[in-house]
Amino acid sequence: MRLILISLFALFFSLIFVMSGNSYLLTLIGVQLGQKGIEPSTVGLIMVGYSIGFVAGAFWAPKLLKRVGHIRSFAALAAMAAMASIAYPLIDALWFWGILRGLGGFAAAALFVAIESWLSAVATNDNRARLFALYQILAYSAAAGGQLLLEPGIRTGESVAYSFAALLLMAAVVPLSISRLQSPPVEESASMSLKRLWGITSLGLLTALASGVLISSFYSLVPLYATLTGIATSEIGSLMSIAVLSAMVLAWPIGWLCDRYERSRVLFVVGLIAAVSALGAAFGGEWAYAIRVLFMALIMAIIASIYSIAVAITNDLVDTQDRIAASSTLMLSYGLGSIIGPLGGSWLMQVLQPSALFYGYAILLLMLAGFTFYRRGQVTPIPVAEQEHFIVAVPESQVASEFDPRTEDPEDIPIEELFPDVEPATDELSEEEPSTNDPSTKNTEANTDNAECSETEAQNQTSAQPHKE
């Protein structure tokens, strides 16, 4: 148990370093590109590299882990992410920054897969839900904390600012490198086609797609929007941090509603609230900073929960054995949306004005609410009593579907497979090693030695006698 607790600390510390360094870097790049006067459409092309790399890393990482092992893969991926981070100031070419964004996205997704795979192996069916909840809290907290490094990072200069991100990403290697935790077995995940999942729940699939569009464009373009509309650098970090924390805080009440009302009804209502908030953010470009933060925090809180609702709607309709495959397909749909988001949002910002990003949010959210209302009329929603328990999902850090407590209960991995140098404990008295201080044990050993000596002497005497036919 002590080894498992130490390993959990190592895994969670590595998660904190990866999440904080990655979120800090994402905001830093958006602000820096805005300060350099780069056109929004060009910024979108650079930022979409991260989404493409993230999707590729999420689906290719299991093969890498299975072939090379978790520890080597984790060290190599963290080094790749750190090298990409520190290389931004070296070459001031936008195409080069796009490539670095792709490498960073690939490494980040693969690192999350490795951490979640380890956590899934260490967790048991009794504590999986608690570990999953702790993972989500730490992921949100680390992402919010990383945003607060923005102002001191930029103040120290461009090179040092990117070095901060590299240091955080490399620091993630240390806790796991000194841990005795070994690589858990990697199993091939089942797959489900988009067409098949569309036939089961078109609402869940489209909601995941919309979530990808909204969340990716928020992380990629809101720092740029804030820079272009005159928000101070010191306030941009606070804005993003508050927005991320609001997503964590509102996750519980939205989940509470989803367990007591029909999921589609909750999705319809929160979609309308988010659309109104987006319109408030679009019209409030000249309003007080606190009011603008309130609108954007509310937008982030709701769009972060939309993916969780999509997963919940899907799990209510698919069989238990198909949940991992369905979750992987939802992640693919989210990934496709995350590619569309920065491209579409940056195009609106350039063609119209920076606040057009939130006009696009409002239109997409109203379309999602309208489709939800339409599907409620076409298909009778599942009764509340038959709904699965709602669990929050964080698509930007939760990549491995096997860690989700709603999937089929996997077999607990024996501790000796994770810690080969630890012998399995046994309760059988006969299998215990006898104590060398026990007098009865000493007498037994002495009698055994005497018997062996007598047998040896008898054999010697027999061999000394002449051989007779």
Per DSSP, the three-state class of 172 is coil
Please, is 141 exposed, middle or buried when counting C-beta atoms within 10 Å of its C-beta (0-12, 13-18, 19+)? middle
Report whether pLDDT(103) > 90: yes
* 240 closest CA partner among 459, 15, 29, 3: 29
Domains of the chain in sequence order: 2-408 (1.20.1250.20)
Token pair 């005159």: residue: 230
Per DSSP, the three-state class of 428 is coil
Residue 416 is predicted with a pLDDT of 47
Tens digit of each residue's pLDDT (9 = 90 or more) over 265-291: 889 999 999 999 999 999 987 888 899
Report d(CA 214, CA 298) in Å as an integer.
13
Lowest-pLDDT range of 1-5, 143-147, 240-244, 362-366: 1-5
Residue 326 is predicted with a pLDDT of 79
Please give the angle made by the CA atoms of 357, 359 and 361, to the nearest 5 degrees. 75
Mean pLDDT confidence for 43-71? 85
Confidence of residue 184 (pLDDT cuts 50, 70, 90): low
Confidence of residue 136 (pLDDT cuts 50, 70, 90): confident
Of the two residues 273 and 383, the one the predictor is more confident about is: 273
Residue 135 is predicted with a pLDDT of 78
Report whether pLDDT(401) > 60: no
161-198 as b/e: b if 16+ CB within 10 A: bbbbbbebbbbbbebbeebebbbbebeeeeebeeeebe
Tens digit of each residue's pLDDT (9 = 90 or more) over 440-455: 444 444 444 454 445 5
Tens digit of each residue's pLDDT (9 = 90 or more) over 295-324: 999 999 899 888 888 888 888 888 777 777
Residue 180 is predicted with a pLDDT of 66
Neighbours of 408 (CB within 10 A): 11
Q: What percent of the chain has pLDDT over 70?
A: 76
Lowest-pLDDT range of 37-46, 70-79, 97-106, 359-368: 70-79
Token pair 């987006």: residue: 278
Mean pLDDT confidence for 187-209? 81
Confidence of residue 72 (pLDDT cuts 50, 70, 90): confident
Residue 269 is predicted with a pLDDT of 93
Token pair, residue 410, equals 């996997």
* 104 closest CA partner among 166, 158, 34: 166
Report whether pLDDT(28) > 70: yes
Report whether pLDDT(67) > 50: yes
Residue 328 is predicted with a pLDDT of 79
Please give the angle made by the CA atoms of 250, 54 and 240, to the nearest 5 degrees. 35
Residue 183 DSSP one-character state: P
Report whether pLDDT(436) > 60: no
Report d(CA 146, CA 150) in Å as an integer.
8
Q: What pTM was estimated for this model as a whole?
A: 0.79
Residue 186 is predicted with a pLDDT of 58
Mean pLDDT confidence for 242-261? 86
Token pair 């008295």: residue: 429
Q: Is the dihedral of CA 53, 56, 59, 65 positive or negative?
A: negative
Token pair, residue 262, equals 């029909």
Report whether pLDDT(154) > 80: yes
Report whether pLDDT(393) > 80: no
Mean pLDDT confidence for 60-88? 85
pLDDT mean across residues, the chain: 79
* N-to-C CA span, the chain: 67
Confidence of residue 433 (pLDDT cuts 50, 70, 90): very low
Mean pLDDT confidence for 24-48? 90
Residue 188 is predicted with a pLDDT of 59
Asked whether the beta carbons of 177 and 71 are under 8 A apart, the reply is yes
- Phi/psi at 268 (nearest 5 deg)? -60, -45
- Phi/psi at 407 (nearest 5 deg)? -75, 175
Asked whether the beta carbons of 27 and 147 are under 8 A apart, the reply is yes
